[in-house]
Amino acid sequence: MIPDYYEFCNSTKIVSGTRALEHIGYELAALGASRPLVLTNTQLLELKVATLVLDALADTEAEVVGVYEEVPVDSSASVVDDVARAYRERGADAIVAVGGGSVLDTAKGATIVLSHGGTLMEHRGAESLLGRRAVAFIAIPTTAGTGSEVTSAAVIKDTERHVKMGFTSLSLLPDVAILDPRLTVGLPPRLTASTAMDALTHAVEAVSCVQANPLSDCYAKAAIGLIRDHLPAVLDDPRSPAGRLALANAALMAGAAFSNAMVGIVHAMGHAAGGVAGIPHGDAMAVLLPHGMAYNIDAVGDRYGELLLDLAGADVYASTPADERAAASIATVRAMLDMLHTAAGLSVTLGQLGVLPEQIPDIARAALDDGAMSMNPKQPSLEELVEILKGAL
């Protein structure tokens, strides 16, 4: 069904392939840029992942004016301002961000400062009104999970107030996203599994949230099918370029879906578990996804029923009565988590992740206040949230 009204935007050019990195010179030139600042972190340089991008850049007409490698795991507003300073001092004309969500979000923050002046904090709350970006921006993800390379959002820490700030603006969408499996073939199994479950959660929540629309559904369902088909195979054969490229595409598609349709209760609880108990995002998503779906089932059971086709394939879908498909979708997600527990060591409960029973009320309160909750198809009470979280403990 087509909603009465919807919006969808994915303006980022996608460059995907087993030798996609070699296209970076052409993409920079097409953007009118020749002096990129490369943004990454020390670990990616040591693992020779970021060096793949530097090697590709060395074969182009572009001159790398600097490599900013001090982006921490949890980036902050002061790091963003420092990146902007380095960009100006070195006379750069493009940012090439190579990393996971933290590096890509730091780059997004830096483009705000570079385009509109001041410090990042000065733009907080007004970012949706920002005009066009004045910086060429290429995003190269080194995990297959956040989808940040095609989302209009950035999450950056305010170190003074110890809160994570969300920035959302279409001007944050990168000009180009490059997906190359050479960047992800070395990811360990546990990280491969947890980032894939983050991507799966983006897709499932995009389908069930109040801003879901026909285009976000297409991206989300395609992402789910790719994860179903390729995640087990990649865990068996981690260096498979085809499998890694499929998972990178899945994460990107899920990112484009939720950038437009938003995420809901699973992300609200996951953000809260991260803030209160320090639980890594992907690990929280893997545990909480089936519990969030079970809570939502009476509001969006028909949508979950449709997803059985993507989660389990045509044979299972066809042999499952229509009124049992939603529950079967949740059972399929639970079975996937069990498989990932065995194959990659993912935790299946919050308790295994280190959450204590006495932390549940605080997590529930924080989840209730999280922005993602307002996009969920159903609004829980504090008591309901406590029960859901206890069920996941």
Sites of contact with Fe ion (CB under 5 A): 198
Closest separation in Å from C-beta 199 to Fe ion: 8
Instruction: State both tokens at 233.
Output: 């195979």
Closest separation in Å from C-beta 197 to Fe ion: 9
Closest separation in Å from C-beta 312 to Fe ion: 22
Q: Where are any strands of DSSP class E within the chain? A: 13-16, 36-39, 66-68, 94-99, 136-141, 153-158, 163-168, 176-179
Check residue 383 and report its DSSP letter.
H
Using CB atoms, what's the residue nearest to Fe ion?
198
Nearest alpha carbon to residue 3 among 211, 153, 263, 150: 211
Closest separation in Å from C-beta 214 to Fe ion: 22
Here the contacts of 328-336 (C-beta below 8 Å, separation 24 or greater) are 329/293, 329/304, 329/305, 330/290, 330/293, 330/294, 330/297, 330/304, 332/308, 333/200, 333/204, 333/289, 333/290, 333/293, 334/290, 336/200, 336/231, 336/311
Nearest alpha carbon to residue 111 among 88, 145, 141, 143: 88
Check residue 72 and report its DSSP letter.
-
Instruction: State both tokens at 160.
Output: 């003074």
Closest separation in Å from C-beta 344 to Fe ion: 18
Nearer to Fe ion, 201 or 359 (CB): 201
**Residue 18 CA, distance from chain mean position:** 21
Nearer to Fe ion, 38 or 340 (CB): 340
Closest separation in Å from C-beta 285 to Fe ion: 6
d(Cα 259, Cα 98) in Å, to the nearest integer? 20
Closest separation in Å from C-beta 92 to Fe ion: 30
DSSP 12-45: PEEEESTTGGGGHHHHHHHTT---EEEE-BHHHH
Nearer to Fe ion, 269 or 300 (CB): 269
d(Cα 131, Cα 172) in Å, to the nearest integer? 10
Nearer to Fe ion, 69 or 198 (CB): 198
d(Cα 44, Cα 107) in Å, to the nearest integer? 16
Nearer to Fe ion, 112 or 197 (CB): 197
Other beta carbons within 10 Å of 377: 17
User: 5, exposed or middle or buried, with CB in 10 Å at 0-12, 13-18, 19+?
Assistant: exposed
Closest separation in Å from C-beta 166 to Fe ion: 12
Nearer to Fe ion, 289 or 364 (CB): 289
Nearer to Fe ion, 195 or 320 (CB): 195
Nearer to Fe ion, 198 or 306 (CB): 198
Nearer to Fe ion, 123 or 281 (CB): 281
Closest separation in Å from C-beta 175 to Fe ion: 23
